[in-house]
Every structure is written in structure tokens, then in C-alpha cells.
């Protein structure tokens, strides 16, 4: 792929990723509550989910995509239930500080949560299937092209989620006060539960 095509692919992915959706809201809530490292792990999980869909799109084409969309309904609702659970746990949390959870267990939970957000939306693969053919010939893929597409999409989605991470940090500076932390727990918990509802309905 030439440079212009790669840049065009990056721009198309940026426009898709920057549109309000569960990924941005989840990263924003996590960054505000737990800080940049936690939000970064969530973002990485989300990117893995997106890359999975990009890979499927490059190999599956429309017929398989329709089959996947039908079967993914069960995965989608499982993911939504998991996000609702996370939101409920956060909502009832009585923490008194903006502690950053960096232990292995929390990291795995964040990666899983990010993957759930990015990987349980079957409409994502339909989106990638709709614009990837504009940039590449899906019937004549080379390994180099596949790697280029995955790298461009992965970096672009991670960049967009990092913008949400930064916004969460700016919000955090204004509310880093023990008096309001309980309210933050409620807000971020409700936000995560709304993300779960969004995943189920989207």
C-alpha cells in the first residue's frame, strides 16, 4: 500500500473511532476514576477487539460477516451483562481515593473489559467490511498489506482512545477531592452500566 492509501485508511478509521460510542465513554470513565494507566489497559483491550474485527473483515467478506452478526448476538449480550456488573461494582464502591489499580488481576480485568467493549459489537465488522474494500483488494491480500492495515487501524484507534484518556485526566484534576469521590464512583459506575446498555442495544 502506498503512503496516500495508508493515510486515507487512517483518516477513515479516525472518523469512525472518534464518533461517540461505548469505547470512548468507557475509557473516559476509567481514566477519570483510576488514572491513565488503567485507561490505557482498557484501550489496549479495545484495540485488540477492533483488530480482531479487521482481521475477520479481511478474510471473511460479506457472507461470513452476516453469519457472524447473527451468532454474535449472544456474545454481545454476555458482554453487556459483564459491563453492567462492572458498573454496579463501581457504583457501590466506597473508595476514598483515586487509587490506580496496577496489579495483575486488575490489569487483566481492564484488558477483558476493553476487549468486551471493542469486541462485542458485530456492527464493527460490517463497518470495516464497508470501507476496507475502498483501500485494499480483499481477494488479493498479501501478508504485508494485512500487517499494514492492522497496524494503521490499531494505532489510529489507540490514538483516539488516548484522547479520551487525556480528557478523563483533565476532569480528574478538577474533582480529585475526597469529598466528591463517592459521587464520582456513582457517576462512573452509572456510565459503565450505560455503556453496557449501549452495547446491548447498538
Cα within 13 Å of Cα(4), Cβ side: 1
pLDDT at residue 124 is higher than 80: no
* pLDDT of amino acid 169: 81
Give pairs for 69-76: CB < 8 Å, separation 24+.
69/122, 69/123, 69/125, 69/126, 72/120, 72/122, 73/122, 75/119, 75/120, 76/120, 76/121, 76/122, 76/199, 76/200
| Residue of 195, 172, 169 whose CA lies nearest to 114 | 195
pLDDT tens column, 168-193:
888 776 655 555 666 766 776 787 67
pLDDT at residue 38 is higher than 80: yes
C-alpha to C-alpha distance for 135 and 26, rounded to whole angstroms:
30
Mean predicted confidence (pLDDT) in 52-72 = 66
pLDDT tens column, 17-36:
876 677 888 888 888 878 88
**Domain coordinates in residue numbering, the chain:** 3-8+21-201
For cell 464497508, name the residue. 130
Residue 69: partners with Cβ closer than 8 Å, 6 or more residues away: 122, 123, 125, 126
Amino acid at each position: 500500500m502506498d503512503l496516500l492509501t495508508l493515510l486515507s485508511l487512517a483518516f477513515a478509521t479516525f472518523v469512525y473511532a472518534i464518533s461517540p460510542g461505548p469505547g470512548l465513554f468507557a475509557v473516559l470513565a476509567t481514566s477519570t476514576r483510576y488514572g491513565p494507566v488503567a485507561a490505557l489497559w482498557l484501550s489496549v483491550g479495545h484495540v485488540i477487539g477492533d483488530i480482531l474485527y479487521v482481521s475477520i473483515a479481511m478474510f471473511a467478506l460479506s457472507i461470513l460477516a452476516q453469519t457472524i452478526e447473527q451468532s454474535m448476538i449472544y456474545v454481545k449480550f454476555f458482554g453487556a451483562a459483564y459491563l453492567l456488573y462492572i458498573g454496579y461494582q463501581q457504583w457501590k464502591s466506597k473508595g476514598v481515593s483515586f487509587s490506580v489499580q496496577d496489579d495483575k488481576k486488575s490489569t487483566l480485568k481492564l484488558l477483558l473489559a476493553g476487549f468486551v467493549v471493542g469486541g462485542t459489537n458485530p456492527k464493527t465488522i460490517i463497518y470495516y467490511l464497508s470501507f476496507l474494500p475502498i483501500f485494499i483488494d480483499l481477494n488479493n491480500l498479501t501478508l504485508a498489506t494485512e500487517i499494514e492495515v492492522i497496524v494503521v487501524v490499531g494505532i489510529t484507534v489507540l490514538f483516539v482512545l488516548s484522547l479520551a484518556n487525556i480528557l478523563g485526566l483533565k476532569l480528574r484534576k478538577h474533582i480529585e477531592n475526597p469529598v466528591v469521590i463517592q459521587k464520582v464512583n456513582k457517576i462512573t459506575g452509572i456510565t459503565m452500566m450505560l455503556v453496557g446498555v449501549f452495547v446491548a442495544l447498538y
